Amino acid sequence: MLLCERKTIPREPGWHFEIKYDGYRLLATTGDAPHLKSRNGANATTWFPELVDALAALPSGYITDGEVCVLDDIGKSDFERLHARARRKGWYRGADPVAYCVFDLLVSKGRDLREQPIERRKASLQKLLAEPQTGLLYVDSVEDGAWLYGHALALGLEGVVGKRAGSTYRAGERSRDWVKVKRPGAVPPERFKR
């Protein structure tokens, strides 16, 4: 599911807000044969082998959506360091560690949850990630978007994501039910070229 960009935080009730991480958006399968797949379908499993053990420790039959990031000491994502790491398509001595910041659950025990409301998917995801696993981070949400955005500005984070209450997951679609509000200047014009 893709985000629509907005300049301001939705002010009407009925929204959940999360930190916007700046990384690589990946789907992950859990259990015996963990697999990481990029938005364009690339197999990213070998790029981040340290996440494989964490995903393997979870029960089989789950598919999650999240962002792989390199996080600094305060938990701020650093896209340039992630890109430098990912360019090598695997772990190497001195590689920055990555975290998989998981914000949605699409399949639970083999059952498709995409038509379930976001609140139900998040509750199931929180249960799945209840036992801490190195490298996996559950992305929680709050209802006060202005408060979260203020903190994102103060900390120099990329921004926030708003998800409309009750929204379903529509794979591959850009939806006004999921919006991003970036901090001004969050993505500088001289950012690397892929």
Question: Would you please indicate which residues are annotated as catalytic (active-site) residues?
Answer: 20
Q: Are strands 99-108 and 111-112 parallel, antiparallel or unpaired?
A: antiparallel
Q: CA 10 to CA 56: how far, in whole Å?
A: 38
150-155's contacts with Cβ under 8 Å and 24+ in sequence apart are 152/19, 152/20, 152/183, 153/183, 155/74, 155/76
Q: CA 59 to CA 76: how far, in whole Å?
A: 29
Lookup result for tokens 């996080």: 71
Residue 40 dihedral angles phi and psi, to the nearest 5°: -90, 10
What the block records as the tokens of 16 is 């959940």
By the 8 A CB rule, do 11 and 147 touch?
no
Q: CA 116 to CA 125: how far, in whole Å?
A: 13
Specify the DSSP element, H or E, that contains 123.
Answer: helix 118-128
